[in-house]
Amino acid sequence: MADDLLSQLRQMTTVVADTGDIDAIRRFEPTDATTNPSLILQAAQQPERRERLAEIARQAADIDDALDAVAVEIGSEISALVPGYVSTEVSARLSFDTDATLARARALIERYGRHGVGPERILIKVAATWEGIRAARQLEREGIHTNLTLLFSFAQAQACADAGVTLVSPFVGRILDWHKAKAPDQDFGGDRDPGVRSVRQIYEHYKGHGYETVVMGASFRNSGEILALAGCDRLTISPALLGELAETRGTLERRLSPLDAETRAPEPLDEADFRWHLNEDAMATEKLAEGIRKFMEDQRKLEALLGELRRE
């Protein structure tokens, strides 16, 4: 009998847990784990965390300090359970401010250090805006690893590779969402999935030009998208889909394989080219803006919760 699909996937791709749920991480034993404001909010709302959150909120200098303290505390717990990276996100409010992103990222790394977690274990997540990518370039020069998130376009992926970021997270499912909304009767199954095609294009470009930036597909809507990207460097997967893969048996075909660098990398994009190409891509422009708003919506909910706890 064939092994389960999750076990087979682990043999060709680094499996990452897309969650802040400690129990789920213990269950699936991923190599890495990623968090974002929405996942931190979910973790913070667990009843067993309320007393500790109240303590953090009362001790914090302000709400921003409390937000970072919560994210790092949860991230530090996760770091004890995974051997690889833990991704922690800079506030989406800073998505268009390079200097503020740099300051917040350095503060997060310093805070992790006070928890005994070194910078080699952390990926600082930054939205793949022009300003975020510029911040990531500088952080990488300082030895701080970065994960560029909310990535929907090839222009974003090219600029991230030019900047030498550690990892990019193309959002497969949200790309599919946009196309399904525009063409609800069209079949986007299997290799026709535009999110899957986007990740493949980025992966093949990086490998074909010798970029070291890791490609990590993210934001999956179904297990079929994951199977279609088997062999990608990394895939970050929700607990629900990890469970589905673990319970399904069959033969998993490798779909992506590393290539030797075939040609020299193209000239880096400048700011004008980046903004023009992003503007030309309606899907990427809309989903990037929507993603930043969504993360801020959940961050505000967490801010409200911490503010309430500070007053108790």
Q: What residues act catalytically?
A: 125
Mean pLDDT calculated for residue range 191-203: 96
pLDDT tens track for 124-176: 999 999 999 999 999 999 999 999 999 999 999 999 999 999 999 999 999 99
- Phi and psi at 217, nearest 5°, equal -60, 140
- Between helix 282-311 and helix 172-182 the angle, nearest 10°, is 120
Whether the per-residue pLDDT at 63 is higher than 70: the answer is yes
Give CA torsion, residues 152, 93, 234, 138, to 10 deg: 100
Q: Taking the model in full, what pTM does it have?
A: 0.95
pLDDT for 265 equals 81
Residue 219, burial from CB neighbour count under 10 angstroms (0-12, 13-18, 19+): buried
pLDDT for 1 equals 59
pLDDT tens track for 96-128: 999 999 999 999 999 999 999 999 999 999 999
pLDDT for 311 equals 85
- Taking a C-beta distance cutoff of 8 angstroms, is the pair 5, 227 a contact? yes
pLDDT tens track for 244-267: 999 999 999 999 998 776 778 889
> CA nearest 282: which of 207, 168, 178, 199?
178
Residue spans per domain, the chain: 5-311
Q: Which amino acid is at 265?
A: A
Distance in angstroms (rounded) separating the CA atoms of residues 104 and 87? 14
Name the fold adopted by 5-311.
TIM Barrel (3.20.20)
Computed over every residue of the chain, the mean pLDDT equals 95
Query: Both tokens of residue 126?
Result: 């930054």
Distance in angstroms (rounded) separating the CA atoms of residues 15 and 306? 32
Whether the per-residue pLDDT at 240 is higher than 70: the answer is yes
Distance in angstroms (rounded) separating the CA atoms of residues 188 and 310? 47
Mean pLDDT calculated for residue range 15-38: 94
pLDDT for 43 equals 87
Mean pLDDT calculated for residue range 280-298: 97
| CB neighbours of residue 54 within 10 Å | 17
